[in-house]
Amino acid sequence: MDNDRLRECLDEDYTRLRKVAAGADLAARVPSCPDWTVAELVDHVAMVYLHKVACMKFGRPQEWPPETGGEEPLPLLERAYGELAAEFATRAPSTSAYTWYEPDQTVGFWVRRMAQETVIHRVDAELGAGVPIAPIPADLALDGIDELLVAFVSYGSRAWAEDFADVLAPAAGTTVHIAAGERAWSVEIAADGVSVADASGGVGTGASTSIAGEPDDVLLWLWNRAGDGAVTTSGDPDALAAFRRVLVAATQ
């Protein structure tokens, strides 16, 4: 996805998140994030925005969480998004910026990451408020699947090997075929990390397990925001469970 499209999606999902949260009981629990209330979800999103603004401004890792001055959740979210949008408006996506993903040290990484962060937490807000989940555009969902598999699962399994140590060894040798829309990915789990390859056009023959569905359903399943009924799975159920444990390690 290009930068303009990502920013368009980011703005739409922020706007939806803000509207849903404003109409919700802020003390309600968020079923997809059971440790959080809606207010705590909103606080988290605001702090993520402020943290990334600081990463871009100062070009180095920043302490987490950022100082918020005790603002109420909704005004804090509005202020934080305003700062984030202003930062993106003044920096080209190719501009150098600190990120946690070593292969991409640019502002464009944060545009993509914040668009994907926001759509998932927009869904969390909808679940917490008990309102229908608004559609996720197919292009955003496909981009989100790719980002999760490549940056969080594959890169993360090697960059933060200690976080994956307990789940990789038991899953070593597992192969997963993921299909969504016209795209597909092949995932190979080894004891020392996960490899992800574009498998578009392939059928996934020989994979230990496979997952298929509409792009938004697959994205939400991978982020544990949708149950197994949202997608079609086949193959070894133990392999599927092993892959799920790898996903949890990648997204916690």
Which one of 129, 151, 173 terminates a domain?
A: 129
* Whole-Å CA distances, 217 to 137, 141, 178, 205, 214: 11, 9, 12, 22, 5
Is residue 194 within 8 A of residue 168, CB to CB? The reply is yes
DSSP symbols for 5-68:
HHHHHHHHHHHHHHHHHHTS-TTSEETTEEEEEHHHHHHHHHHHHHHHHHHHHHSS---SSPP-
Same domain, 54 and 118: yes
Per-residue pLDDT for 30 more than 70? yes
Q: What is the pLDDT of residue 68?
A: 92
* Distance separating alpha carbons of residues 46 and 155, to the nearest angstrom: 26
Strand partners, 37: 29
Same domain, 95 and 65: yes
Phi, psi dihedral angles at 216 (to 5 degrees): -65, -40
Per-residue pLDDT for 79 more than 80? yes
Q: Give me the domain span that covers residue 110.
A: 3-129
Q: What is the mean pLDDT of residues 159-165?
A: 96
Same domain, 179 and 112: no
CA dihedral 199, 202, 208, 209 (to 10 degrees): 80
Same domain, 119 and 142: no
Which one of 97, 129, 161 terminates a domain?
A: 129
**pLDDT tens track for 168-219:** 999 999 999 999 999 999 999 999 999 999 999 776 668 999 999 999 999 9
- Selection from 186, 178, 157, 155 nearest residue 245 by Cα: 157
Tell me the percentage of the chain whose pLDDT exceeds 90.
96
Q: What is the mean pLDDT of residues 98-103?
A: 98
Q: What is the pLDDT of residue 205?
A: 66
Maximum Cα–Cα distance for the chain, whole Å?
A: 55
pTM: 0.97
Q: What is the pLDDT of residue 15?
A: 98
Peptide bond before residue 65 is cis, with ω within 30 degrees of 0? yes
Same domain, 202 and 220: yes
Is residue 46 within 8 A of residue 77, CB to CB? The reply is yes
Same domain, 163 and 241: yes
CATH of the domain at 163: 3.30.1050.10
pLDDT range class, residue 89, cuts 50, 70, 90? very high
Same domain, 86 and 200: no
Per-residue pLDDT for 99 more than 90? yes
Which one of 100, 129, 158 terminates a domain?
A: 129
User: What secondary structure letter does DSSP report for 250?
Assistant: H
Q: What is the pLDDT of residue 201?
A: 78
* Distance separating alpha carbons of residues 122 and 125, to the nearest angstrom: 5
Same domain, 68 and 154: no
Same domain, 122 and 142: no
